[in-house]
Amino acid sequence: MEKKTASNDFSGLYTDYYEFTMAQGYFLAGRKDETAVFDYFFRTNPYGGGFLVFAGLADLIESLQLFCYPEETLQFLSKQGFLPEFLDYLKNFRFQVTISSVREGEIVFPNEPLLRVEGTIIETQLIETMLLNIINFQSLIATKSYRINLVAGEKKFTDFGLRRAHGLGGIMASRATIIGGATSTSNVAAGFKYNIPVSGTMGHSWVQSFKDEITAFRKFAEFNPTNAVFLVDTYHTLKSGVPNAITVAKEMRREGKELAGIRLDSGDFSYLTKKSRQMLDDADLRGVRIFVSNQLNEYVIKSLIDQGAPIDGFGVGTDLVTGKPDAALDGVYKLSECNHQPCMKISESIEKMTLPGKKHLYRFYDNQGNFFRDGILLESENPDLCKNIHHPNYPEKLTPVGDLKRELIHQVVYKNGVTTNLLVSPFEINNFLQSRAAHLPEEHKRFIMPHIYKVGISANLLKLRDDLRNKVQRNTMM
């Protein structure tokens, strides 16, 4: 079998089959040059929380720049029954769309148009699945990571999740964990791809492979003299692991070296870390740090901190990189304009209706400089003339915003095949996230019954939505 090249990993096949059937239909109908505008938004905050951390934009743009149809992919599509004339069109296909988006690391809320794609109807259609796959997943994981960061505070945590991740999704997951606040990853491939620090200690198999535990520690220290961390729970944490770690740490000190730390991967972490800390301190090894791993999440970490467990860092795996307990983010990609005419999805439930037309997203601030409201306005309207924003479902509820400081949080990030925005590192994105989170009131950050952040729409957008809904309903009744 012919081996596929790495350049095809993010080829034009990174989509669902029905995207191709629609694209071919547009082509055969003579509509390939018609224009379209799609919005990306999500409907529900994950984890029962009060916000989402937007992530995945840089990987999306990189994937767009690699999105093409080499001959082997065209041959595959031919076997699926797609017509030669359509495949000829795809042969030289490159995305020339314009993407406007909030920045990676931005704190965002349900039903906001976070990302807008403008281009031909075929290219905007073909991007749908890839966009949702990347943005939904990374935003879910970045949000989980930031929730852990909120409770960990100054204590560091590392992504240990690759072995439990969903296949190659573990690579993007590790990037998202750094955006949310992890300081390193055990994922070497992600470290290489995204230039993020990699870290790790030893496994139980290392200890088991030697004749006894203390020999395993001595050999590990010999080969890792500056960053040795011993896994102390292979046999018995307090009767064997920690005493042997203390013995080897004192041997290292006589040679002018210091043991970096110990790690516990099982047992009652609150009890065991307190006992271990006392044993280390009594041995004059106050600089030896204590790390824990195994089935950790934001709730377990908060509990350990509340109990005063003397833990210096956490290795977080399964719950972090799988977004447990939420399996997916409910982000969607909906058509809002076709051939320069606004359009919308109609539903019997007003909550499920989409917002038509090209829109801008503004953030309004209170007198203390904190996030107060977000407002969705038509791109064509003058924001200076927007005095109120209305509840999308109950328009009689409104908030005066005319005197408030506002910020446009959309920007063009991709145009004509070239990114127009510097793609920063995951750590720089985290710095941006932290700067934004400083302005998010604490009531939106709590885990239990967080306060709902209000998002409104302008009177002009409200009128366009209602007029278009009424027009569609009249036409369907004829």
How big is the CA angle at 252 (ends 246 and 253), to the nearest 5 degrees? Answer: 90
CA distance 284 to 290: 15
Average pLDDT over residues 384-406: 95
**Domain locations in the chain as residue ranges:** 6-141+327-477
Under 8 Å between Cβ of 235 and 244: no
Q: Which of 145-149, 278-282, 349-353 has the lowest mean pLDDT?
A: 349-353
pLDDT at 476 over 90: no
Among 191, 183, 179, 185, smallest CA distance to 143 is for 179
pLDDT at 422 over 60: yes
Residue 330's Cβ-count burial label (10 Å; 0-12, 13-18, 19+) is middle
Under 8 Å between Cβ of 180 and 143: yes
Q: Which of 63-67, 368-372, 426-430 has the lowest mean pLDDT?
A: 63-67
CA distance 305 to 351: 40
Q: What is the 3-state secondary structure (H, E, C) of 345-409?
A: CCCCCHHHCCCCCCEEEEEEECCCCCEEEEEEEECCCCHHHCCEEECCCCCCCEEECCCCEEEEC
Average pLDDT over residues 368-384: 97
What is the per-residue pLDDT across 18-28, written as a single tens digit (0 to 9) for each? Answer: 999 999 999 99
- Which position has the token pair 């999500």? 42
pLDDT category at 95 given cuts 50, 70, 90 is: confident
CA distance 415 to 397: 38
Rg (alpha carbons) of the chain, rounded to whole number? 26
Q: Which amino acid is at 151?
A: V
Q: Which of 85-89, 244-248, 440-444, 473-477 has the lowest mean pLDDT?
A: 473-477
Two tokens at 202?
């030893």
pLDDT at 471 over 90: no
Under 8 Å between Cβ of 100 and 410: yes
Question: Which residues have C-beta within 8 Å of that of residue 179, sequence separation ≥ 6?
Answer: 53, 55, 104, 105, 138, 142, 145, 146, 426, 429, 430, 433
Helices marked H in 153-268: 169-180, 188-194, 204-208, 213-223, 242-254
Under 8 Å between Cβ of 325 and 362: no
pLDDT at 131 over 90: yes
Task: Name the percent of the chain in helix, strand, coil, to the closest 5.
Answer: 40, 20, 40
What is the per-residue pLDDT across 245-298, written as a single tens digit (0 to 9) for each? Answer: 999 999 999 999 999 999 999 999 999 999 999 999 999 999 999 999 999 999
Give 323's Cβ-side CA count (13 Å radius). Answer: 26
pLDDT category at 350 given cuts 50, 70, 90 is: confident
CA distance 298 to 105: 19
Give me the pLDDT at residue 477, please.
64
Interstrand relation of 341-342 and 229-231 (parallel, antiparallel or unpaired): unpaired
pLDDT at 418 over 50: yes
Q: Which amino acid is at 300?
A: V
CA distance 376 to 296: 38
Classify domain 6-141+327-477 by CATH number: 3.20.140.10
Is residue 468 classed as helix, strand or coil in its secondary structure? helix
pLDDT category at 1 given cuts 50, 70, 90 is: very low
What is the per-residue pLDDT across 217-239, written as a single tens digit (0 to 9) for each? Answer: 999 999 999 999 999 999 999 99
For residue 420, count other CB atoms closer than 10 A to its CB: 14
For residue 33, count other CB atoms closer than 10 A to its CB: 10
Give me the pLDDT at residue 420, please.
80
Under 8 Å between Cβ of 422 and 57: no
- Percent share of the chain, pLDDT over 90: 90
- Which position has the token pair 């992890």? 182
Q: Which amino acid is at 80?
A: Q
pLDDT at 15 over 80: yes
> What's this model's pTM, rounded to 2 decimal places?
0.95
Average pLDDT over residues 43-63: 96
What is the per-residue pLDDT across 174-213, written as a single tens digit (0 to 9) for each? Answer: 999 999 999 999 999 999 999 999 999 999 999 999 999 9
Please, which residues bridge with residue 198 across strands?
185
Under 8 Å between Cβ of 234 and 264: no
Is residue 412 classed as helix, strand or coil in its secondary structure? strand
Kindly report the average pLDDT of the chain as a whole number: 94
Two tokens at 218?
């001595």
Is residue 195 classed as helix, strand or coil in its secondary structure? coil
pLDDT at 156 over 90: yes
Average pLDDT over residues 54-63: 95
Q: In what order do the strands lie in the sheet with 156-159?
A: 184-185, 156-159, 313-316, 289-293, 261-264, 229-231
